[in-house]
């Protein structure tokens, strides 16, 4: 019978309590919205992150055994495979599995935190750090109930890696060589972008070995096996290399070859392109540009999506501090505490790469703050335990730890209680997609903005032109053009973009080897269209969309999915097509303003932001400028959800119109370009060209139209 010593029992107790605490905190959202049916579909909560539907689609297809060419379903991704496994063995619905999986997997982070503290002979520090790290703002936000994404293990796995590195260097035991390597293999399998952090750990260990422990052969064994695990080749090749190296490292007679093995592993890392993805990520998040430029051909300029993603933008200090520690004061004290912890336990300097990656948020965006959370939690937890040691009695020691721990946990609990994020789609929006799925073929396309690509693919089981992983400037240009141009131009662009997308899939498949061997450049759809129609300037090609032209042969149907929620991001949508692709010159931004919080004072309607409607003169006042209203439009739904549109033409020479969407309690102030855009005409006004479009669903929350050409 296995007998556990007192230290092990305490370790397991602390892990159990911290894990349960983390889970319970994540169930607060479930309790708060238990009665909100809009957040449920088929009586199950829906997830609240767009990207989660990507892995859900892959897991769904794995379980059904149905997939097809070019549907982009991630049936080989780690997230989908692990989800399918859990869905297969657990007695719960698929929807419950994807909703609750982040609750339990993310809470595993308490295990390596407490194990690291055990190695430092300070379990109480680990327990306090685990409680704090498991619910701190950024970690909670990205691992809460329903936040089904890779983040549910993206901190758990590197923390296990940090634990194995610390214990390896502290103990010099061979078993930690294989544990470290296997952790890297799993981490890379789960999150292919893990190479930057792994490389940082490697670099720090190398510096440590050269400066402080140069003659210790174990350090070079650790570096070599890490490098073999990190090479940019298939995991099934790296695994036997790692196992072979481990066998050699356990045989003393091979010690004289360690330097050669290390050199070969480093060479293999760079030859296999191991550093290339690290540099590409730095370019993406740190050295990002607003405009991307083609390297050959017409050298087209496209607006990049990184400039519109909040998580990739710079953030103010208070937000930065809150996301890492829950409060600015806690954050500052945590930094001091971590510095003191490193001073007292130099081994904790190996946690520096995670702190550095977390601090990259100051230039790279708030998504990185999550990495610094557990390390700085160690910092303040260490100070709390150190202060408790100064207490005169054991009772005072315990009380001080409890008091300080509650103090640092409280701001994070308040955040959790107030963080009432909605699901990605509402029940009504999903119902539309669920019905649409029964009317279409899996080869058909849905046109919408890329934000909605993954959930559309999941619920409607159709193809999309853009999604969370396919939203470069060249991909988003035609989508933006369709949504913000006239119906004629949008219809033609939709048919062109879909058929060119399918043609490109076919070309890439049939000429894969030639493309790789000759490094053939693959141009954007819009560039190919321009050339194929005999133009050298995309502006000329786009102008031709207003004229008679021969379109590609129709091979599948196309549907437009236009949700009401898109109103909020319509100005952002316009950015991607409102520019000269030949020069990169941005066009004049169309005027578009949405007001949902307005005040009617009798003589005027204050829409906010110094914009109001002057009722007496039927004018729009924008700042100091008074502009006559071209038209006033009021839309109203009757009891049968049929839309009535009342248009009052006021001043035909003006360029600014007002739309009052009565049932939405929303005012739109917009110029003529936006008024005539496909989105406004079809979603807001249901004024569609019956030669081009057929209404499929005219629900107040979302409109779906079928393209007829």
What pLDDT is stored for residue 688 in this prediction?
Answer: 98
Q: How many CA atoms lie within 13 A of 501 on its CB side?
A: 29
Domain check: are 443 and 509 in the same one? yes
Average pLDDT along the chain: 93
Domain check: are 183 and 64 in the same one? yes
Look at residues 378, 393, 418 and tell me which one is the last residue of a structural domain: 418
What pLDDT is stored for residue 581 in this prediction?
Answer: 95
Decide: 667 and 609 in contact? Cβ < 8 Å.
Answer: no
* Mean pLDDT value across residues 635-646: 95
3-state secondary structure of 419: coil
Q: How far apart are CA 19 and CA 108, in angstroms?
A: 7
Q: What percent of the chain has pLDDT over 90?
A: 84
What pLDDT is stored for residue 294 in this prediction?
Answer: 54
Decide: 227 and 268 in contact? Cβ < 8 Å.
Answer: yes
- 372 token code pair: 């610094």
Domain check: are 490 and 609 in the same one? no
Report the Cα 584 to chain-centroid distance in Å: 27
Q: Is residue 1 part of a domain?
A: no
* Mean pLDDT value across residues 143-150: 97
Burial 124-162 (b: 16+ CB within 10 A, else e): bbbbbbbbbbbbbbbbbbbbbbbbbbbbbbbbbbbbbbb
Q: What are phi and psi of 511, to 5 degrees?
A: -125, 25
Domain check: are 693 and 632 in the same one? yes
What pLDDT is stored for residue 260 in this prediction?
Answer: 93
Task: Identify the residue whose tokens are 């999915």.
Answer: 561
Structural domain count of the chain:
3
> Cα angle vertex 316, ends 311, 317, to 5°?
120
Q: Is residue 569 part of a domain?
A: no
* Mean pLDDT value across residues 313-340: 93
Q: Is residue 579 part of a domain?
A: no
Domain check: are 438 and 392 in the same one? no
* Mean pLDDT value across residues 69-88: 93
CA 677 vs CA 291, 482, 490, 525, 693: distances in Å: 24, 8, 9, 22, 14
Q: Is residue 574 part of a domain?
A: no
Q: How far apart are CA 231 and CA 514, in angstroms?
A: 26
Which of 78-82, 108-112, 362-366, 691-695 bottoms out in mean pLDDT, i.e. has the lowest? 362-366
Residue 284 pLDDT exceeds 60: no
Band the pLDDT of 181: cuts 50, 70, 90: very high
pLDDT (tens digit per residue) in 17-49: 999 999 999 999 999 999 999 999 999 999 999
Residue 598: burial class (beta carbons within 10 Å; 0-12, 13-18, 19+): middle
Q: How far apart are CA 479 and CA 458, in angstroms?
A: 20
Look at residues 418, 441, 465 and tell me which one is the last residue of a structural domain: 418
Query: Which residues fall within 8 angstroms of residue 700, CB to CB, at 6 or more apart?
Result: 564, 637, 641, 643, 663, 664
Three-state SS sequence of 514-544: HHHHHCCCCCCHHHHHHHHCCCCCHHHHHHH
Nearest to 249 by CA among 183, 180, 167: 180
Band the pLDDT of 306: cuts 50, 70, 90: low
Name the residue with higher pLDDT: 65 or 112. Answer: 112
Domain check: are 520 and 604 in the same one? no
Decide: 677 and 528 in contact? Cβ < 8 Å.
Answer: no
DSSP state of 392: S
Beta strands in 204-279 (DSSP E): none
Q: Is residue 580 part of a domain?
A: no
Report the Cα 221 to chain-centroid distance in Å: 36
Put simply, whether the predicted model's pTM sits higher than 0.85 gets the answer yes
Band the pLDDT of 521: cuts 50, 70, 90: confident
3-state secondary structure of 649: strand
Domain check: are 391 and 478 in the same one? no
CATH number of the domain that residue 432 is part of: 3.40.1380.40
Q: Is residue 394 part of a domain?
A: yes
Nearest to 63 by CA among 44, 88, 41: 88
Q: How far apart are CA 166 and CA 186, in angstroms?
A: 18
Highest mean pLDDT of the ranges 346-350, 365-369, 515-519: 346-350
Quote the domain boundaries for residue 599: 588-707
* Mean pLDDT value across residues 659-684: 97
Residue 312 pLDDT exceeds 70: no
Domain check: are 550 and 402 in the same one? no
Q: Is residue 207 part of a domain?
A: yes
Is residue 618 left, alpha or beta, with left meaning phi > 0 and alpha meaning psi from -120 to 50?
Answer: left
Q: What percent of the chain has pLDDT over 70?
A: 95
What pLDDT is stored for residue 80 in this prediction?
Answer: 97
Residue 98 pLDDT exceeds 60: yes
Domain check: are 435 and 499 in the same one? yes
What pLDDT is stored for residue 109 in this prediction?
Answer: 98
Highest mean pLDDT of the ranges 250-259, 262-271, 626-635: 626-635
Residue 570 pLDDT exceeds 90: yes
Domain check: are 407 and 518 in the same one? no
Which of 453-467, 508-522, 552-566, 584-598 bottoms out in mean pLDDT, i.e. has the lowest? 508-522
Residue 274 pLDDT exceeds 80: no
Q: Residue 591 CB: number of other CB atoms within 10 A?
A: 17
Domain check: are 456 and 554 in the same one? yes
Look at residues 381, 397, 418 and tell me which one is the last residue of a structural domain: 418
Three-state SS sequence of 428-440: HHHHHHHHHHCCC
What pLDDT is stored for residue 309 in this prediction?
Answer: 59
Q: Is residue 110 part of a domain?
A: yes
Domain check: are 408 and 434 in the same one? no
What pLDDT is stored for residue 288 in this prediction?
Answer: 53
3-state secondary structure of 143: coil
* Mean pLDDT value across residues 374-383: 98
* Mean pLDDT value across residues 504-510: 90
* Mean pLDDT value across residues 395-419: 97
What pLDDT is stored for residue 66 in this prediction?
Answer: 83
Q: How many CA atoms lie within 13 A of 674 on its CB side?
A: 25
Beta bridge partners of 595: 667
């Amino acid at each position: 019978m296995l007998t556990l010593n007192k230290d092990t029992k305490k370790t397991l107790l602390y892990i159990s309590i911290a894990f349960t605490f983390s889970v319970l905190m994540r169930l607060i959202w479930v309790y708060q919205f238990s009665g909100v049916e809009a957040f449920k579909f088929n009586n199950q909560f829906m997830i609240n992150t767009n990207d989660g539907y990507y892995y859900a689609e892959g897991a769904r297809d794995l379980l059904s055994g149905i997939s097809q060419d070019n549907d982009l379903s991630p049936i080989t991704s780690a997230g989908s495979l692990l989800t399918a496994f859990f869905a297969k063995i657990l007695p719960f619905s698929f929807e419950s599995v994807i909703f609750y999986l982040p609750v339990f997997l993310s809470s595993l982070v308490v295990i390596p935190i407490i194990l690291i503290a055990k190695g430092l002979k300070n379990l109480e520090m680990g327990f306090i750090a685990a409680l704090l790290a498991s619910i701190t703002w950024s970690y909670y936000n990205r691992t809460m109930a329903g936040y089904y994404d890779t983040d549910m293990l993206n901190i758990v796995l590197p923390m296990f890696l940090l634990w194995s590195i610390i214990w390896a260097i502290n103990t010099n035991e061979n078993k930690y060589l294989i544990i470290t390597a296997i952790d890297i293999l799993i981490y890379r399998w789960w999150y292919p972008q893990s190479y930057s952090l792994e490389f940082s750990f490697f670099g720090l260990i190398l510096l440590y070995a050269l400066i402080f422990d140069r003659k210790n052969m174990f350090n070079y064994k650790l570096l070599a096996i890490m490098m073999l695990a990190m090479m940019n080749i298939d995991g099934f090749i790296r695994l036997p290399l790692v196992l072979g190296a481990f066998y050699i490292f356990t045989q003393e007679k091979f010690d004289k070859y360690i330097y050669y093995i290390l050199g070969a592993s480093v060479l293999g890392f760079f030859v296999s392109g191991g550093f290339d993805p690290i540099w590409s990520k730095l370019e993406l998040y740190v050295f990002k540009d607003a405009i991307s430029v083609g390297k050959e051909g017409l050298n087209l300029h496209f607006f990049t999506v990184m400039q519109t993603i909040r998580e990739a933008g710079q953030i103010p200090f208070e937000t930065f501090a809150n996301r890492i520690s829950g409060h600015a004061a806690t954050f500052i004290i945590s930094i001091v505490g971590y510095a003191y912890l490193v001073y007292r336990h130099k081994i904790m300097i190996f946690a520096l790469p995670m702190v550095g990656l977390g601090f990259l948020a100051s230039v790279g965006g708030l998504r990185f703050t999550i990495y610094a959370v557990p390390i700085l939690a160690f910092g303040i937890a260490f100070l709390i335990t150190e202060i408790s040691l100064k207490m005169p009695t054991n009772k005072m020691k315990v009380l001080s730890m409890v008091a300080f721990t509650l103090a640092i946990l409280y701001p994070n609990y308040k955040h959790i209680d107030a963080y009432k994020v909605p699901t990605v789609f509402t029940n009504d929006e999903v119902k539309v997609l669920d019905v649409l799925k029964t009317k279409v073929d899996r080869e058909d396309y849905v046109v919408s903005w890329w934000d909605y690509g993954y959930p559309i693919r999941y619920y409607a089981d159709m193809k999309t032109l853009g999604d969370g992983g396919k939203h470069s400037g060249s991909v988003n240009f035609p989508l933006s053009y369709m949504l913000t141009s006239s119906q004629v131009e949008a219809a033609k662009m939709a048919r062109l973009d879909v058929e060119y997308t399918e043609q490109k899939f076919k070309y890439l498949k049939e000429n894969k080897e030639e493309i790789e061997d000759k490094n053939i450049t693959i141009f954007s759809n819009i560039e190919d269209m321009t050339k194929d129609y005999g133009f050298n300037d995309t502006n000329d090609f786009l102008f031709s969309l207003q004229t008679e032209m021969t379109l590609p042969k129709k091979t599948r149907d196309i549907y437009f999915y236009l949700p009401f929620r898109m109103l909020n991001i319509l100005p952002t949508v316009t950015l991607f097509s409102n520019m000269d692709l030949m020069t990169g010159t941005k066009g004049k931004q169309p005027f578009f303003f949405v007001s949902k919080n307005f005040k009617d004072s009798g003589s005027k309607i204050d829409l906010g932001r110094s914009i109001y409607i002057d009722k007496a003169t039927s004018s729009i006042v924008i700042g100091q400028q008074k502009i006559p209203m071209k038209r006033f439009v009021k839309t109203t739904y009757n009891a049968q959800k049929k839309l009535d549109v009342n248009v009052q033409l006021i001043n035909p020479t003006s360029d600014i119109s007002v739309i009052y969407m009565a049932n939405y309690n929303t005012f739109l102030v917009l110029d003529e370009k936006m008024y005539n855009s496909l989105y406004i005409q079809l979603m807001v006004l249901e004024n569609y060209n019956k030669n081009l479009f057929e209404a499929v669903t005219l629900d107040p929350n979302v409109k779906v139209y079928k393209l007829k050409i």
